[in-house]
Structure 1
Amino acid sequence: MHTNRRATAIAGTLVIVGMIAGALSIVPVIEEPRHLALISEHESQVVVGAVAQAIMIPAYVGFALCLYPALRAENETLSLGFLGFRLIAATFHFLGVIILPLFLVLGHAFTRAAASDAAGLELLDELLRTARDLVNHVALIISLGLGDLLLFRILWRSRSVPRWLSGWGFLGIALAMLASFSVLLGLTDVVTPLYLAMNAPLGLQTVVFALWLLAKGLATGTSTTAHRHG
């Protein structure tokens, strides 16, 4: 696998940027009970969350574009699949960005609404929150996971990163996708300790993978050597 050292360093940087933006995209007020009455007072949380999620779009797609030339040299079909799933994930990120300002609209309407209209606004709010969870924690995670399975399949075969790192990626992705299906089926919620614990291995692996790309990049020539000795 022939790699551009600068491209892998940029890719690692974009992973870190995406993770920081992901942390900033969390909007705690939306997880509060009866939060419609609180949103107007915490408008900045919603704005910061939307901006942060918007930053994740170029970070996640840019990561794939940086690695794509090296991955394509190894397996064009799988690398195209990886890039395609990243673009699908970017679409879900965009939906997440659009959804957040709608909470502000509902929150402002709720503060002015009569008691008879409040129940209807709360129902709309609950539907919107469910939609956001399904976009961010189901559709987005599954599309990213499927793409990253292709990525680590290429890296596993080429040995361009240590196999323990690729294997860790497979395990983390499987757990994260299982957590997403649990949310989809209503077995858990996105703020429960179980959901967070199931995503922790992938989160840690992502940090290690990013640091590996920054420090060492992708090894070159390992695939050829592996095939010759295999």
Structure 2
Amino acid sequence: MSAPEKARPPTATDPRTAPPDDPTTASTRKTAALVGLLFLAVTIAFVFADALNAGVLDRSDFLTGASAHTTALATGAVLVAGQFGVVGIAVLLYPLLKRHGEALALAHVGFRVAELAASLFYLAVPLLAIELAARLADGTVEGAASPSLGALLRAQHGTAVLMIYLVNTAAGMCMTALLHRSRLVPRWIVWFGVIGYPTLLAGCVLDLFGVLDVTRGIGLTALVPGGLFELILPIWLLARGFSFPRRG
């Protein structure tokens, strides 16, 4: 009887040597696609929602005729509800990012929850506008109160947008720091976020001091780098997924 074949030592690529929880491009392809879709859905939904809501709120004494724009306001409200997706982004990314800094990964989840809370504060604006317009129409609320109530809703809208941007920058800086460490996506993409989120934060601070308005005019330039990041990143994730560089 021949001697039993000597067992070969496992190689570096042998699955027996890989940690059971070590992620691979193939195993996270679905996660990358879901994160990409959520990023696109959340961003596009908010852009269209704010365009619809601001289009009504920018009208002179808009509450008086807001009942004629109920469809626009209701559509804006439904689109804002899509911001629940920001929490989904954080939850899906957490298992991948925590390997490179668990505290930052948890902070990212926390800030995304805060971003959702700010979005719900924003959601109250179109809902209140619809309700107040109906009460003005049936006489429950006096017409003389319309300008004051309208100014209050405009102030809430501006405050809510600023709150969303502030917590979005905090979440974005946590996320980009971890993406830069992990190299899950190319660093040239990450640098759009590394530059973009602090730029938006600076714009928000200047807005707080009345220097500019990040929702209009030159203040919109503060959104450009971060906006590019939140457009390029999901497209990359949908097309290529995550990368997992070999450890040296």
Q: Distance in 2 between matches of 1:19 and 1:90?
A: 13
1:1-230 matched pairs, under 5 angstroms: 2=23, 4-26=28-50, 27=53, 28-57=55-84, 59-111=85-137, 117-135=142-160, 137-221=161-245, 224-225=247-248
Q: Deviations over 1:62-82 (max 9, x none)?
A: 111111110112211110000
- The runs of 5 or more residues in structure 1 that have no matched partner are 226-230
Q: RMSD of the TM alignment (CA)?
A: 2.1
Tell me how far 1:95 sits from its aligned partner.
Answer: 1.7
Q: Distance in 1 between matches of 2:220 and 2:135?
A: 33
Q: Deviations over 1:24-75 (max 9, x none)?
A: 2121111222212231111111100110000121x21111111111011221
Of 47-56 and 164-173, the range deviating more from structure 2? 164-173
Tell me how far 1:191 sits from its aligned partner.
Answer: 4.3
Distance 1:101 1:179, change over 3 A: same
Distance 1:182 1:103, change over 3 A: farther
Which residue in the other structure is 2:14 paired with?
none
Letter in 1 for 2:115: A
Residues 61 and 87, structure 1, Cα contact 8 Å, conserved in 2: yes
Which structure would you say has the larger RCO, counting Cα contacts within 8 Å and 6 or more residues apart? 1
Letter in 2 for 1:122: P
Q: Distance in 1 between matches of 2:154 and 2:23?
A: 45
Q: Calculate percent identity across the aligned residue pairs.
A: 26
Q: Distance in 1 between matches of 2:227 and 2:115?
A: 17
Larger radius of gyration: 2
Distance 1:216 1:91, change over 3 A: same
Q: Deviations over 1:175-197 (max 9, x none)?
A: 22222223333333354221222
Letter in 2 for 1:124: L
Tell me how far 1:111 sits from its aligned partner.
Answer: 4.1
* Higher-helix-fraction structure: 1
Distance 1:33 1:170, change over 3 A: farther
Letter in 2 for 1:2: P
Q: Distance in 1 between matches of 2:173 and 2:45?
A: 23
- The runs of 5 or more residues in structure 2 that have no matched partner are 1-21
Residues 85 and 147, structure 1, Cα contact 8 Å, conserved in 2: yes
Which residue in the other structure is 2:18 paired with?
none
**Under a length normalisation based on structure 2, what TM-score does the superposition of the two structures give?**
0.81
Which residue in the other structure is 1:228 paired with?
none
Tell me how far 1:19 sits from its aligned partner.
Answer: 1.7
Distance 1:219 1:96, change over 3 A: same
Residues 29 and 38, structure 1, Cα contact 8 Å, conserved in 2: no
Residues 61 and 146, structure 2, Cα contact 8 Å, conserved in 1: no
Letter in 2 for 1:29: V
Q: Deviations over 1:88-137 (max 9, x none)?
A: 111111222223211122223344559x94443321221222112111x2
